[in-house]
Structure 1
């Protein structure tokens, strides 16, 4: 059974990003950045004082989600579709145009959503016990969308089974790898957004400039999602023994 090599996975992820940058940036711009930016620009986030207890927070967010259910659902669907199309672009078994990858993603989007729902339910069961089991299950099912894309698996349950098999003996390794990237990425994104807020606040005497702040937040968030996507694909290539295919793509 292949053991995950962090350095090879990271180098492979960066190589994937470089090899497919034009295509994935085009898809990410329309299906990840744009809905994120429009949502931030036009949907007012809940205003919190910091003194709310759990009941107050639940009440505030219940109202927020009920009032914005449609835009939340639509933006998440568009972003999910964009993520799937990016996986089609990165898959070693494919060498197609952006239009072809978008059409391929559309054909299996419902299957992808069902698989994500099953993954979410199983992961949630893990979180009922402790945080760690939930995170572990999430790492074991992280390759589900790529199994659908690269192996043409159309049975959501079988996609979960194949992801579980591919990640055997590597669940905690994948978890640690993604956690490291997520923590570093979150700190970097938060720092950039904080600097942007400070600069716009100073430039406008404390009023801020929501357009610029939302623009930077959407750009950094999209970049972070792209890094996670290529990392997950690189993990799949490592564990599935398909690094040779990746080299052929680069050449």
Structure 2
């Protein structure tokens, strides 16, 4: 079984992000950036806890915010799912694929992708309940489920999960720590950008809400784009000989 190489995966992820730039950026703008921006500008305003509230009150406010924003969040997530599938299709296709063809493929595979998201999320949740460690391990083992389904046209979500499990054999923890490192870097940069934006413009109304929404949506789209490239690079490295040089 091939051993996972973090440095090679990052190099390939960077190469992927440079390939089909205009096409992939256009899809990311429509399906990742614009829905996030619409949610930031038009979504329900969250209720902020006030000073002196107890833990129970803060938890209730958090639950209230989650309930009132559930429907628009689902809409944003579904749009992102189509966009990520189309981008992965462009990156992983062996021959030339147009934007229209990649979007049509993503829509055709949409029910499978929803099932994969539900099943993997359930697996992660159950794993985290079992002393956390199993859930973290599953992150690594199931990391290439979606890329495998898209590259191989797998319609059965269970088969896609089995494919990821087979490809990541003996590499689960290496992949998890690589994904953790990438996520931490993206998160730190996003937090810094958010703090700077809020300190300069605020975030409640007017220009502050407009600018903070733009910055937040841009970082959500950029972070998702990088994470996609990383997952595709992991898959390409582990899947088969010769795939890593597709865009060279």
**1:137 — aligned with what?**
138
- After superposition, residues 1-251 of structure 1 pair within 5 angstroms as 1-43=1-43, 44-49=45-50, 52-201=53-202, 209-242=208-241, 244-250=242-248
Give the Cα–Cα distance (whole angstroms) in 1 for the partners of residues 189 and 66 of structure 2: 28
Compute the displacement of 1:98 (Å): 0.7
Compute the displacement of 1:69 (Å): 3.0
Give the Cα–Cα distance (whole angstroms) in 2 for the partners of residues 51 and 82 of structure 1: 43
Unaligned runs of 5+ in 2: none
Give the Cα–Cα distance (whole angstroms) in 2 for the partners of residues 112 and 168 of structure 1: 22
Compute the displacement of 1:237 (Å): 0.7
SS in 2 for 1:232: helix
TM-score normalised over the length of structure 2: 0.92
Give the Cα–Cα distance (whole angstroms) in 2 for the partners of residues 235 and 14 of structure 1: 12
Q: 1:152 to 1:50 in 2, by over 3 A?
A: farther
Number of residues paired by the alignment? 246
Give the Cα–Cα distance (whole angstroms) in 1 for the partners of residues 49 and 206 of structure 2: 18
Contact 1:92 / 1:245 at 8 angstroms: preserved in 2?
A: no
Give the Cα–Cα distance (whole angstroms) in 2 for the partners of residues 137 and 52 of structure 1: 37
Q: List per-residue Cα deviations over 1:85-130 (Å, max 9, x = no partner).
A: 1111111435200111000000010011111111111111101112
Compute the displacement of 1:218 (Å): 0.9
Root mean square deviation, CA, Å: 2.0
Contact 1:41 / 1:211 at 8 angstroms: preserved in 2?
A: yes
TM-score normalised over the length of structure 1: 0.91
Q: 1:66 to 1:185 in 2, by over 3 A?
A: closer
Unaligned runs of 5+ in 1: none
SS in 2 for 1:249: coil
SS in 2 for 1:11: helix
Q: List per-residue Cα deviations over 1:146-201 (Å, max 9, x = no partner).
A: 11110111111111111000000000000000101111111111111211222225
Q: 1:107 to 1:58 in 2, by over 3 A?
A: same
Contact 1:92 / 1:246 at 8 angstroms: preserved in 2?
A: no
Contact 1:88 / 1:94 at 8 angstroms: preserved in 2?
A: no
Contact 1:41 / 1:210 at 8 angstroms: preserved in 2?
A: yes
